Structure 1
Amino acid sequence: GAARALLGIMAGRDKIISHVRVMDANGAQLASFEVESTNSTAWGTTGGLHQKHAEEIALRLKG
C-alpha cells in the first residue's frame, strides 16, 4: 500500500562519478583521476550532493 510506496521512493542512494583529466596549454595530459560522491540515503538533496562532489574535485586538484 501507501507505506510501501513511500519507502520505495525514499530507498536507495544517489551517486555521481566524474573522470577528470588535467591538460596543459598544449593538450598534454598532466594528471587524471576519478571522483565518486554518494548520498548514503535519499534524505540528502541533489544540490547538496552536487556541492559535495564539486568540493571533492577541488580538493583533489589542490593536491
Structure 2
Amino acid sequence: MGSCHTHQQRLQLLREAGVPELHLTRLRSPVDLDLRAHTIIAHTHQRPNTPLTRSTGLIHRQKTPA
C-alpha cells in the first residue's frame, strides 16, 4: 500500500534483494478498493472515474500558492 512513488521504490528494493520479476508483477499499488463511492466522489470533485491502477500521473491536484 502507499503512493505510486512508494510502490516504485518498494519494487526497486525487492529487485535489489533478488526477488524474481515474475513475483513482482503480482504486486499492485495503489490498492484501489472498490467501495462503490468513487463515482459520486469523482463527480463531486470533477475528476475522472478511473481506477487508480489504470491511471497515470498525480492523483491529487497541485495546490496553488496563496
TM-score norm. by structure 1 comes to: 0.28
Q: Which has the larger radius of gyration?
A: 1
Q: Quick check: which one's strand share is greater?
A: 1
